Amino acid sequence: MASVYCALIHHPVVNREGEEVTTSVTNLDVHDIARSARTYGLRGYFVVSPIDAQHPVVQKIIDHWTSGAGTSRFPERGEAIALVRLCHSLDDAIAEIEATEGKTPRLVVTSARVGPGRSSYAQEAERLRAESRPTLLLFGTGHGLSERVLQRADVFLEPIVGPTDFNHLSVRAAAAITLDRLLAPKSAANNPV
């Protein structure tokens, strides 16, 4: 299996009206997705925001848990937060993966929107096991990734759906479900309680 990374995109995403916007970074998203990324063995988690004023806030979170007071109190949190990479654009994240891996990553996008050409989680999990190129899973904030990002996708995953017509998961929950469906061991016997 090739290396897997994820990115939380804050721009370009869309708002409720479908307009392209930039969203704010939240502390919970940084922490919770990092913990899921560490649990499922990702090589890195990119927080993508073009807003310079938000970068020191995210860096302060990273520093607190990887080299500050948080390291002695909750060292396992530091392990997860150490995966966080802060960057200004999706292209920056791709360039960092290329520099590390020597290959351009496949872009796998997620969306709550239904449409044609979606890959099932089972199909993508099989591809991941056979793939030699690194993979970058993209998660959108706001009301989802903009069309500009979606058009760059190599793979478009089917939406996560439950038994009701309500489909408004937080990005943290969607990321955890996605990582579990794609990367969890095939058998519960391989994952003792």
Whether 114 is covered by a domain: the verdict is yes
H-helix or E-strand spanning residue 71: helix 70-73
Residue 191 falls within a domain, yes or no? no
Q: Kindly state whether residue 190 falls inside one of the protein's structural domains.
A: no
Query: What distance in Å separates the CA atoms of residue 140 and residue 103, rounded to the nearest whole number?
Result: 24
- State the CB neighbour count (10 A cutoff) for residue 130: 8
Q: How many domains does the chain have?
A: 1
Task: State the CATH number of the domain containing residue 107.
Answer: 3.40.1280.10
Q: Is 192 a member of any domain?
A: no
- Residues with Cβ within 8 Å of 66's Cβ and at least 6 positions away in sequence, in order, are 78, 81, 82
Tell me, what's the pLDDT at 45? Answer: 98
Give me the pLDDT at residue 86, please. Answer: 97
pLDDT of residue 112: 82
Is residue 86 assigned to a domain? Answer: yes
pLDDT of residue 2: 87
Q: Residue 139 belongs to what domain range?
A: 4-185
Question: Would you say 114 and 28 are in contact if contact means Cβ atoms under 8 Å apart?
Answer: no
Residue 193 lies in a domain: no
Tens place of pLDDT for every residue, the chain, 193 residues? 889 999 999 999 999 999 999 999 999 999 999 999 999 999 999 999 999 999 999 999 999 989 888 888 878 889 999 999 999 999 999 999 999 999 999 999 988 888 888 999 999 999 999 999 999 999 999 999 999 999 999 999 999 999 998 888 999 999 999 999 999 987 654 554 4
Q: Is residue 97 part of a domain?
A: yes
The answer to whether residue 121 is domain-embedded is yes
**CB of 6 within 8 A of CB of 175?**
yes
What pLDDT score does 47 carry? 98
Question: Is the whole-model pTM more than 0.85?
Answer: yes
